[in-house]
Amino acid sequence: MAGRYSPIGVFDSGVGGISVLGELTRTLPREDFLYFGDNLHAPYGTKPEEEVLGYVRGVMEHLLSRDVKAVVIACNTATSVAAATLRAELALPIIGMEPALKPAAEQRKGGQILVLATPMTLRLPKFQALYQRYGEGAIPLPCPGLMELVETQAFDQARRYLQELFLAYDPARVDAIVLGCTHYVFLRPILREILPPHVLILDGNAGTARQLARVLKQRDLLSDQGGSVTLETSGDSSLILPLMESLLARA
């Protein structure tokens, strides 16, 4: 039976959720975290919805077998596909991701907001509802293949990808970039280099960490001891775990 000293499960289709894990460990340094990257089935963002839901169920089964007290879906696509279903089926807290469109809209100065995300995240009802409420001036930009460049740490190629993506837009008229995929957070230094200083770069990681802290407090599940991180993958551990460790240090 999971209690306040049980670990918190965190998962993503690959290594992108490590950017969320970094934020979670800063916000809740006394918690134990178990991170699972489903690299065997990455990417989620270009696959059919039913297929992704099947993979998420498999990951949840694994995390529940490890007696987690809460789960953070550190992936915008998996949140859009599975969060509501999992919450209806399970009693433990399920915390998801949301593209930071609301804070971008609140800070908009009349310019454009470019929302970078996987094709599926932009297509699903969760984003569409967010877009209806806060989408004035926002331009959704599907980025197929960009997540894989982060997975393989092909940052030079990612720089070229982003430079080509932005060619159609006048940077002087852009107020904010919303990073709607947890993998893209690792591209923040590149984005900062290629965009003018006035352009805000926003992601949902801090909001997710605050929400987890709120829910744990409400349910009296906050730990006052611990602080460990365990990394796991469904892919090749010898290749992926060192990558996860280096990205966690970067995060």
The pLDDT tens digits of the residues spanning 90-119 come to 999 999 999 999 999 999 999 999 999 999
pLDDT digits (tens, 9 = 90+) for 181-239: 999 999 999 999 999 999 999 999 999 999 999 999 999 999 999 999 999 999 999 99
pLDDT digits (tens, 9 = 90+) for 108-150: 999 999 999 999 999 999 999 999 999 999 999 999 999 999 9
pLDDT of residue 226: 93
Which of these is catalytic: 181, 191, 201, 221? 181
Rounded to an integer, what distance in angstroms lies between the CA atom of residue 170 and that of residue 196?
Answer: 11
Which of these is catalytic: 52, 73, 75, 105? 75
Rounded to an integer, what distance in angstroms lies between the CA atom of residue 52 and that of residue 60?
Answer: 12
pLDDT digits (tens, 9 = 90+) for 165-194: 999 999 999 999 999 999 999 999 999 999
Q: What does DSSP assign to residue 7?
A: P
Domains, the chain, ordered by start: 8-97+205-250 (3.40.50.1860), 101-203 (3.40.50.1860)
Do the Cβ atoms of 176 and 200 come closer than 8 Å?
A: yes
Read off the pLDDT of each residue in 6-30 and give the average, rounded to a whole number. Answer: 98
- Please say if the pLDDT value at position 2 is more than 90: no
- Average per-residue pLDDT for the chain: 97
pLDDT of residue 64: 98
- Please say if the pLDDT value at position 1 is more than 90: no
Radius of gyration, alpha carbons of the chain: 17
pLDDT digits (tens, 9 = 90+) for 145-170: 999 999 999 999 999 999 999 999 99
Band (pLDDT 50/70/90 cuts) for residue 247 is very high
Catalytic residue list contains 75:
yes
Catalytic residue list contains 143:
no
Rounded to an integer, what distance in angstroms lies between the CA atom of residue 54 and that of residue 235?
Answer: 17
